[in-house]
Amino acid sequence: MGKMKFIADAMLGRLAKWLRLFGFDVLYYPHIEDRLIIKIAREQERTVLTRDTHLLRKKGLKDCIFVESDDIFMQLSELRNRLDFDKVSPLGRCTVCNGVLLKVSQKKEIKEYVPDFIYHNFNDFIKCAGCGKVYWKGSHQKKIKEKIIEILSAPVASGKSFSSEDPDLSGQGRANSLIRPDEKGSAGADREKERIED
């Protein structure tokens, strides 16, 4: 399966964030109507990810993957049968807005966006090209990478019980956290949704 773009329904917010961590392009709006999901999917050539059997019966729905499990790590295990995880870049997309994460070439560019302690004790930063969020390497990023390795190395569709620890993807208070408040990223998503509805 080639490179794919997705839009997740309202039931799959956590899955959308995890797929973004793996590097997949996944749109997600928590209160979006089914008709808009179908419209965005059709206009942007995205595959719909859903747990909603009612949505599956909607007219106009073309490409869709039904996710059976309600457990996030079993959901990822299911999708390993359908998606090419080897062709994406882990930690390549912003978990909040889905923007591409780019390496910061000049450290001084992000000085005003991070606490002084972080600025003086870390050297590698990445920034979201969409909402401007800044990430840096820390203990939380290590836990996320370990979880990604655990998921990718597990037998596909084996029914494996992954460890219950789910790293907090919101970034609040974490050492590779999203620095600025969410207003800009959320507003950007809302503007895109408004444009589609017009």
Domain ranges of the chain: 5-197
pTM comes to: 0.74
| pLDDT tens digit at each of 198 positions of the chain | 445 899 999 999 999 999 998 889 999 999 999 999 999 999 999 999 999 999 988 888 889 999 999 999 899 989 987 888 877 778 889 999 999 999 999 999 999 989 999 999 999 899 999 999 998 877 566 777 777 777 777 765 543 433 434 554 543 333 344 333 233 333 344 434 434 444
Q: In what order do the strands lie in the sheet with 47-50?
A: 25-28, 5-8, 47-50, 64-66
For 100, which DSSP code?
B
> Could you tell me if 12 and 67 are in contact, meaning their C-beta atoms sit under 8 angstroms apart?
yes
| Predicted local confidence at residue 171, as pLDDT | 39
Q: In what order do the strands lie in the sheet with 101-103?
A: 101-103, 125-128, 134-136
> Could you tell me if 176 and 145 are in contact, meaning their C-beta atoms sit under 8 angstroms apart?
no
Which residues face 128 on adjacent strands?
101
Q: Are strands 125-128 and 134-136 parallel, antiparallel or unpaired?
A: antiparallel
